[in-house]
Structure 1
């Protein structure tokens, strides 16, 4: 066999091995399972609000669930708490998950309807990041999309949250959530 052909076969084998190695590094739902907490400072106009953040990711029989809570402390002493829980099930696409937020008349989990003011939610895992998207359509046909990127890190998750309304960034939060 000619040296050039051997070199090409070696290069092809190395490329295939590299592809296999990168695929092996992609995270699975089980890598995200756990409870995480952290805090962030959020600018609202000229005010800065302190927020406590927590998220719990658990595997379910059909997929996984994400529960998260945000507690906002206002300068005037008021405290606002918001808590959410969404089940996700695999879709027909690899590493893309549909929200199972309600049951239809046959008892099957289904997506909500953004044309009725309900959020349309889905999740994906790319490399070491689990992203949850929420799309809202308002009464005038405008939209807001929220993107929660949770990236695996030593001892926790890096959270990058982005909210965009009608093309304009409404809010961005970057913080670390420590594994409990």
Structure 2
């Protein structure tokens, strides 16, 4: 009887080991296959349409790269003002896989333990996340305004022959403030 108990214990341990290996395999990040299609440098220009209908020309670029733990999206927008001034805005965000497939958490700062974490929207900082769904990578930025309202920026970057189609929109309290669509050519 004792031998049967030992065999059963080894069998249970074996089954537990197989289940553990299967769980680890399922939990491995799936970003590598998804992000590799987007990796590269892209450039283009567009006319941004404001809520009042005015148009503002912009030069745009984006660089998407794999990192050790996820990926990075860096983008730049250059605006030539009517008075000749040039305004350039640059952003760079690291993304890490979340426990939810295809959804990525922004790693924009480090906590006291050195772990990459999100910013705090209650402090006026943007809450940023991304997702990859099919051939589209979307980056969202949510801002909580001082009056408690919100602003949501959405960047859809869809794979296209020779580059990416960019669709950007900015909503403030549910009302579209700006939008732009353009093609960014792979460099």
Structure 1 Cα separation of the partners of residues 53 and 85 of structure 2? 17
Partner of residue 29, structure 1: 35
Structure 1 stretches of 5 or more lacking a match? 1-26
Contact 2:153–2:171 (CA under 8 A) maintained in structure 1 = yes
Task: Kindly provide the CA deviation profile for residues 63-88 of structure 1, in whole angstroms up to 9, marking residues without a partner as x.
Answer: 00000000001111111000000000
TM-score (norm 1): 0.83
Task: Kindly provide the CA deviation profile for residues 43-80 of structure 1, in whole angstroms up to 9, marking residues without a partner as x.
Answer: 34464321000000000000000000000011111110
Specify the structure having the higher radius of gyration (Cα).
Answer: 2
Structure 2 Cα separation of the partners of residues 86 and 42 of structure 1? 23
Structure 2 Cα separation of the partners of residues 118 and 46 of structure 1? 29
Equivalent residue runs for 1:77-96 within 5 Å: 77-96=84-103
1:62 has 2:59 as partner? no
SS of equivalent residue, structure 1 residue 57: strand
Partner of residue 40, structure 1: 46
Structure 2 Cα separation of the partners of residues 120 and 57 of structure 1? 20
Task: Kindly provide the CA deviation profile for residues 103-139 of structure 1, in whole angstroms up to 9, marking residues without a partner as x.
Answer: 0011000000100000000000001000000000011
SS of equivalent residue, structure 2 residue 122: helix
Structure 2 stretches of 5 or more lacking a match? 1-32
Contact 2:49–2:179 (CA under 8 A) maintained in structure 1 = no
TM-score (norm 2): 0.80
* Cα distance, 1:90 vs structure 2: 0.2
SS of equivalent residue, structure 1 residue 106: coil
SS of equivalent residue, structure 1 residue 28: helix
